[in-house]
Amino acid sequence: MITTKNIKFSYQKQQEFIFPDLYCEAGSTLLITGDSGKGKTTYLHILGGLLKPKSGSIEIDKQNMLELSEGKLDKFRGKNIGLVLQKSHFISALTVLENLEMASWLATGEKNTTRAKKLLDQLDIVNQANKLPSQLSIGQQQRVSIARALMNEPKVLLADEPTSSLDDKNAEKVIELLTSLSKEYKAALLIVTHDSRIKEKFSNKITLI
């Protein structure tokens, strides 16, 4: 679960983002919507510990993330936060399976091969495990990044426009996988999106103004 309070952020002095407080239970889903330029991605990066806000607090599993030193934050992020991005990026020199193993090694120091295979199986791409990511279709790549986000059983799963580059069929599938897997692994799922195909499906949402 994740709770935020009074988060303020600014790139430059003139413009300041004040983000609404949010709260999301483990296993449930929260949608963050809003027009472009309102700071959706910025908010997501703050929640993921990639950007440091000017003030406020982010509690994940009773730990205020903003109090951590940089090195600890890196570890904390690796262990507790899963990130699914609009466009999936991979380490292109490594195979799908190795990409997943790398994610768990960086966070915990162990290659969790069994878990990687299980996730790939659940996402129906286990037969692609030994291919390079570039050899997969975009829909498959998106599923691999979901698998990677879930590798370390994160407390929070953040998805940044996960469906924007997908067709209807794939988009639906991805959303379904995200929600069902976050329930199964008891992660709070936060989706940043302006995709109307998703908006209809969820009632729990915050709109940035």
Residues found near other proteins in the complex (CB under 8 A): 41-42, 45, 48, 50-51, 70-71, 74-75, 77-79, 83, 85, 87, 89-94, 98, 102-103, 105-107, 111, 148, 152
Minimum distance from residue 203 beta carbon to other proteins (Å): 28
Tell me whether residue 77 or residue 173 sits nearer to other proteins (CB atom): 77
**Residue 139 to residues 2, 13, 42, 135, 145: CA-CA distances in angstroms?**
28, 40, 25, 12, 10
- Sequence-distant (6+) residues with CB within 8 A of 48 are 77, 81, 83, 158
Minimum distance from residue 184 beta carbon to other proteins (Å): 21
Tell me whether residue 5 or residue 75 sits nearer to other proteins (CB atom): 75
Tell me whether residue 148 or residue 173 sits nearer to other proteins (CB atom): 148
Q: Count CB neighbours of 69 within 10 A.
A: 9
Q: Are 187 and 157 in contact (CB under 8 A)?
A: yes
Q: What is the identity of the amino acid at 115?
A: R
Tell me whether residue 23 or residue 105 sits nearer to other proteins (CB atom): 105
Minimum distance from residue 189 beta carbon to other proteins (Å): 17
- Sequence-distant (6+) residues with CB within 8 A of 90 are 96, 99, 133, 134, 141, 144, 145
Tell me whether residue 3 or residue 165 sits nearer to other proteins (CB atom): 165
Tell me whether residue 34 or residue 202 sits nearer to other proteins (CB atom): 34
Three-state DSSP at 106 gives: helix
Minimum distance from residue 15 beta carbon to other proteins (Å): 16
What number of residues does the chain have? 209
Minimum distance from residue 200 beta carbon to other proteins (Å): 27
Minimum distance from residue 106 beta carbon to other proteins (Å): 4
**Residue 125 to residues 118, 122, 142, 146: CA-CA distances in angstroms?**
10, 8, 11, 11
Q: What is the identity of the amino acid at 55?
A: S
DSSP 8-class letter at 203:
S
